Chain A
Amino acid sequence: MNIPDELLYTKEHEWVRIEGDTAVLGITDYAQGELGDIVYVELPAEGADVKQMEPFGTIEAVKAVSELFSPVTGTVSSVNSKIEEDAGVINRDPYGDGWMMKVKMTDPAEKGKLLSAADYKKVIEE
């Protein structure tokens, strides 16, 4: 299982990469594996506000559906339009082309509430 060291995580299985005041995020390799074939993702529109650990969208696999939780608080600055055409990209490349959206963060201190790769590994091993 792939859990890159340089990323931060939530216990709801989202990953986030902080670039200055922007957070790029998606779901983890573990999450895509558990869901199976992903067919559809509902994401907010650009300009929408999201809150840390509150739902921002839903993800549908063939026989399951889950909510997505935002790792950070802020405003959506960009949404990955590739996912709309081909949600399977999340299965194939969860940390790369399968990214979901970028959020302009309003509270950088929130970073402290996220999990390190080692801590996230403990969560999924439980």
Chain B
Amino acid sequence: MPYIPNSDDDVKTMLEAIGVSSFEELFSTIPDSLRLNKPLDLPPPLAEPELINHLRNLAAKNDPGGVSFMGGSVYNHFIPPVVWTIAMRPEFSTAYTPYQAEVAQGTLQAIYEFQSHICRLTGMDVSNASLYDGATAVAEAAIMAVNHTGRDRIVISETVNPLYREVLKSTLSGRNLDIVTVPSDQGVTDNGRFSSFVDDKAACLILAQPNFFGHLEDLAHAEKTIHDAGGLFVMVFDPISLGILKTPADYNADIAVGEGQALGIPQSFGGPLLGLFAAKREFVRKIPGRLVGRTDDVEGKSGFVLTLQTREQHIRRDKATSNICTSESLCATAATIYMSLMGKTGLPRVARLSAERAHYLADKISATDGYKLWANQPFFKEFVVETPVPPAQILAETAKVGMKAGIDLGRYFPELSHHLLVATTEAVSFEDCDRFAAALARLAAGEPLTKAAV
């Protein structure tokens, strides 16, 4: 809500200075037919105590949490309180993009440390200062591959998050590009089908590890196929999984992108998120977004700068590598604090604990009458359950007893209408898993769910 502290005299002085008689006259060039000639349809103003009450009542409608088995790239990992205690310091939380960037050495140092952490985590050479989210990071990777190769076909697996694939399509809709999807079989990319899509016209091949269903893919074949065809290999990763799984560098990915929300950012209502983008050194002049570098000043003192800006819009204009000239700095700062805190031993533990609970819960659910695991594939912390009752009903019923059961896959894959995507993290206890399995058993038996029963 704008609060403009101009007195009537201030307004009068300003209007006189530009030779206009009234505020209204400023809009005189807008044709009458385009103007809203009535007041905005808003309720009357409230007094401050009334307003606070109103907001309290709205806030009370928020779901305070419960146990979340919802994943699909946004996970309920535990966030140590120190993460946001530090990130919410005003030096971080109130800082807006400094237009003379180098004045804000603290901001730049935080971003530099974020980039360094992402490089160590992924094994890649260069990371940018972050992007909006995993979905736009995938789109930016595709644009970079197209610009680098001069080719116009983007090949993406059906097992990449369907929302990412939608964002890829909408982001690239203005360019004359061909986006093709490699079909999947039993929850993993159908590697046998690559030859129909990957040839010397393919700019890149995009696969996720783990994929949207939580399954682990055979990336070696994908990597060889696209590199033999002269295109770039793009891997979508889950940063937590890199505690125990091979890194994008291990898979010889050219570009590694992912959703960084798991690194200390709450699930909220689907945002804000954190796009991760890293690449091999040879692509450093092609990557999108902002890059912070470390250098020495004229006195030989170490400092941080925005570097390689000739890639960006304010210099390269229409030939810029991307129209992104921002980052998710506050979320990236939280992620940096989280990664520093977890370190080399903490992150693998978070990954192992998450996987352990996922496999425990998967065993519990498949031992429950009416339920079974879909697709016999190795998985990390997320898996697909075939359900005897519609997932929408499971979601609605379990919500009443403080559980978020997962994602109804029928929303994205019509053939998976009785399939529920279930995720666990280290923040879910074994007892929570038992309660969830018990709730599913009651729903299959047609018994009502009550707090007492589960």
User: Which partner residue on chain B sits nearest A62 by CB separation?
Assistant: B310
**Interface pair B319/A58, CB less than 8 Å apart:** yes
Q: Does A42 contact B (CB under 8 A)?
A: yes
Contact with B along A51-85 (1 / 0, CB 8 A): 00000001011011101000000000000000000
CA distance A65 to B285 in the complex (A): 12
Known contacts A64-B315, A65-B316, A67-B319: does B310 contact A42 (CB below 8 Å)?
Answer: no
Contact, CB under 8 Å: B319 / A60: no
A40 near B316: Cβ-Cβ < 8 Å = no
Bound together, the chains give a CA A61 to CA B310 distance in angstroms of 8
Report A-chain residues with C-beta under 8 Å of the C-beta of B285: 40, 42
Chain B binding site: helix, strand, loop or mixed by DSSP?
Answer: helix
Q: Which B residue's beta carbon lies closest to that of A55?
A: B319
Residues of B within 8 A of A58 (CB): 319
Of the listed residues B285, B309, B310, B315, the one surrounded by the most CB atoms of chain A closer than 10 A to its CB is B310
Interface size class of B (residues with CB under 8 A): under 10
- Shortest distance from the beta carbon of A81 to any chain B beta carbon, whole Å: 15
CB distance from B192 to the nearest CB of A (A): 33
- Chain B residues near A65 (CB, 8 Å)? 310, 315-316, 319
Chain A contacts of B309 at CB under 8 A? 63
Q: Residue on A with the closest CB to B285?
A: A40
Q: Which of B44-80 contact A (CB under 8 A)?
A: none
Bound complex: CA A67 to CA B316 (Å) = 10
CA distance A69 to B309 in the complex (A): 22
Contact with A along B399-441 (1 / 0, CB 8 A): 0000000000000000000000000000000000000000000
Identify which of residues 73-106 in chain A touch chain B, using a CB-to-CB cut-off of 8 Å.
Answer: none
- B310 partner residues in chain A, CB cutoff 8 A: 40, 60-61, 63-65
A63 vs B310: C-alpha distance when bound (angstroms): 7
How many angstroms from the CA of A64 to the CA of B309 in the assembled complex? 9
**B152, chain A: closest CB distance, angstroms:** 18
> B319, A63: Cβ atoms under 8 Å?
no
For A40, list chain B residues within 8 Å (CB). 285, 310
Enumerate B273-311 residues with CB–CB distance to A below 8 Å.
285, 309-310
Complex Cα gap A61–B315 (Å): 11
Across the interface, which residues of B come within 8 angstroms of A42, CB to CB?
A: 285
Query: Complex: how many Å from CA A67 to CA B309?
Result: 16
Q: Which residues of B contact A64 (CB under 8 A)?
A: 310, 315
Residues of A within 8 A of B315 (CB): 63-65
**Chain B residues within 8 Å of A61, by CB:** 310
Chain B: CB-nearest residue to A39: B310
Bound together, the chains give a CA A42 to CA B286 distance in angstroms of 11
CA distance A126 to B316 in the complex (A): 25
Q: Which residues of A contact B316 (CB under 8 A)?
A: 65
Q: Which residues of the partner chain B approach A67 to less than 8 Å between Cβ atoms?
A: 319
Chain B: minimal CB distance from A59 (Å): 10
User: Complex: how many Å from CA A53 to CA B310?
Assistant: 23
Interface residues of A in 1-51 (CB under 8 A from B): 40, 42
Minimum CB distance partner of A64 in chain B = B315
Residue of B nearest to A59 (CB): B310
What is the CB-to-nearest-CB distance from B56 to chain A, in angstroms, rounded to a whole number?
Answer: 52
Complex: A63 Cα to B315 Cα, angstroms: 7
Nearest-neighbour CB distance to chain B for A80, whole angstroms, equals 18
Q: State the Cβ distance, A120 to closest chain B Cβ, in Å.
A: 25
* B93 → chain A closest CB, angstroms: 31
Residues in B with CB closer than 8 Å to A60 are 310
Instruction: Determine the residue in chain A with the shortest Cβ distance to B315.
Output: A65
- Bound together, the chains give a CA A40 to CA B315 distance in angstroms of 14
Q: How far is the CA of A42 from the CA of B321 in the complex (A)?
A: 14
B186 → chain A, closest Cβ, in Å? Answer: 42
A58–B285 Cα gap in the complex (Å)? 11
Task: Say how far A63's CB is from chain B's closest CB, in angstroms.
Answer: 7
Tell me the complex Cα distance, A64–B310, Å: 6
Bound together, the chains give a CA A126 to CA B319 distance in angstroms of: 27
User: In residues 362-398 of chain B, which contact A (Cβ within 8 Å)?
Assistant: none
Chain A: which residue is nearest B320 at the CB level? A65
- Looking at the assembled complex, report how far the CB atom of A48 sits from the nearest CB atom of chain B, in whole angstroms: 10
A42→B310 CA distance, assembly (Å): 12
> Mind listing 10 A-B residue pairs with CB under 8 Å?
A40-B285, A40-B310, A42-B285, A61-B310, A63-B310, A64-B310, A64-B315, A65-B310, A65-B316, A65-B319
Which 10 residue pairs are nearest across A and B when measured between Cβ atoms? A65-B310, A60-B310, A65-B316, A65-B315, A64-B315, A40-B285, A63-B315, A42-B285, A67-B319, A58-B319
Binding site for A on B (CB under 8 A): 285, 309-310, 315-316, 319
Question: Given A40-B310, A61-B310, A64-B310, 13 other A-B contacts at CB below 8 A?
Answer: A40-B285, A42-B285, A58-B319, A60-B310, A63-B309, A63-B310, A63-B315, A64-B315, A65-B310, A65-B315, A65-B316, A65-B319, A67-B319
